Amino acid sequence: MSEGVKRSSSNGFEKPLTTEHQQEKVNEVKRLVGPLPEKLSIYCSDASIERHLRARNWNVKKALKMLKETLKWRVAYKPEEIRWEEIAHEAHTGKIYRSSYVDKHGRTVLVMRPSCQNSKSIKGQIKYLVYCMENAILNLPPDQEQMVWLIDFSGFNLSHISLKVTRETAHVLQDHYPERLGLAILYNPPKFFEPFWMVAKAFLEPKTYNKVKFVYSDEINTMKIVEDLFDMDYLEAAFGGKDSVGFDITKYAERMKEDDKRMPSFWTRASSPSAAPQPDLASATLDSLNLDSNSDASDDDKTEGSMPYGIDSDTVFTDENTLVIDGGKKESESESEDPHRTDVKPDDKAHA
């Protein structure tokens, strides 16, 4: 387990938690959650519980509330059952996709291009984002639990930002995918974006905003961030790399369909040896599970911020009179083998 921290009430300083203390907290959360059906028990691996605890600064009550809300969301939304055919229309412009390369640590890379937005359906956009997150997690190697985001701001302007989509995106990523972001690179963001980021940064914890890096193609010192993180021979040219192939929807669709075939086995106990055996609750209903989180913790807790299309923290967008960034308009709801390619089939990996 990674090192945790706990804030002392006596002096306000943070002190490290021992590995034993971390495991005690994981075990306590597991005990409080109680028996779960197979998919949910697989989700509640030690690694997953630890991520929720880290997101809540190792506060058991707050982490428990967060975890229960995510379990209820997964039962209702069924993110692991979304398939390519359901969201393919959202993917055609390449606004979000899992790259065919990984970083030097083997982490999955999601490429995001907000200027390529092709849909006005908030539900459709969020469903596609969730599909991409689940797919990125599916393709993480066993020794990694975080991903990298490459956000390309080419062609970006204020009309590409939707207040509603940003809020919903922040909600999903912050509340249901805690500690999944390893690093976010904002590539060539326009100057008018920086004030928005400075406002957001004031409401974020250092561990969150330190993961966000501004990179400019004409600044050698910032480009070094990319060069240190990626093998430039495999990085696509849009981010300063040497791969000029770019996004191909036909080839991408084939990759996603193959991944869809792997998803069911990912959510079985056979692929998750760390999942603790649970009673047979296959017929359990959502109401029958112990997932009431109303009294677990207060709502004033802070989690790792999300960065939907490079913008973090729903706090920034709470006051519509202060930041109406969509101009007041309302949206309707309506491959050769090499070590850097990720089209592999790992047999065992940490679950979501």
Q: Residues 71-82: pLDDT tens digits?
A: 999 999 999 999
Separation of alpha carbons 86 and 127, rounded Å: 9
The DSSP bridge pattern shows strands 109-112 and 147-152 to be parallel
Give the angle subtended at the CA of 56 by the CAs of 276 and 313, to the nearest 5°.
Answer: 125
User: Would you say residue 291 lies in a domain?
Assistant: no
Domain count for the chain: 2
**DSSP secondary structure string, 165-233?**
HHHHHHHHHHHHSTT-EEEEEEES--GGGHHHHHHHHTTS-HHHHTTEEEE-TT-HHHHHHHHHHS-TT
Retrieve residue 152's tokens.
Answer: 């390309």
Which two tokens mark 314?
């729903």
Other CB atoms within 10 A of residue 284 CB: 15
Tell me how far apart the alpha carbons of residues 201 and 195 are, in angstroms, rounded to a whole number: 10
Using only C-alpha atoms, what is the Rg of the chain?
Answer: 20
Which residues span the domain enclosing 173?
A: 90-263+304-317
My answer on whether 233 and 143 are in the same domain is yes
Q: Tell me: do 107 and 227 sit in the same domain.
A: yes
User: CA-to-CA distance for 100 and 105, rounded, in angstroms?
Assistant: 14
Same domain? For 56 and 125 the reply is: no
Angle between helices 46-55 and 60-77 (to 10 degrees): 120
Residue 259 DSSP symbol: H
Any domain includes 140: yes
Rounded-to-integer distance, Cα 314 and Cα 194, Å: 17
Q: Does one domain contain both 109 and 183? A: yes
Packed helices 84-91 and 249-266: angle between N→C axes, nearest 10 degrees: 150
Using the CB atoms, write b or e for 79-104: b if 16+ within 10 Å. bbebebeebbebbeebbbbbbbbbbe
- Residue 108 counted as domain residue: yes
Among the three residues 50, 77, 104, which one is the final residue of a domain in this structure? 77
Identify the segments of the chain with pLDDT beneath 50.
1-3, 5, 7-13, 273-285, 295, 297-350
Using alpha carbons, select from 212, 132, 222 the residue that is nearest to residue 169: 132
Same domain, 234 and 139: yes
Structure tokens at 289: 């599970």
**What is the C-alpha to C-alpha distance for residues 137 and 337, in angstroms, rounded to an integer?**
21
pLDDT at 337: 42
Q: Is residue 14 part of a domain?
A: yes
> Which CATH number goes with the domain that contains 11?
1.10.8
**Does 9 map to a domain?**
yes
Same domain, yes or no, for 124 and 250?
Answer: yes
pLDDT of 202 reads: 65
If asked whether residues 188 and 221 sit together in one domain, one would say yes
Examine residue 145 and state whether it is found in any structural domain, yes or no: yes
For residue 351, the model assigns a pLDDT of 53
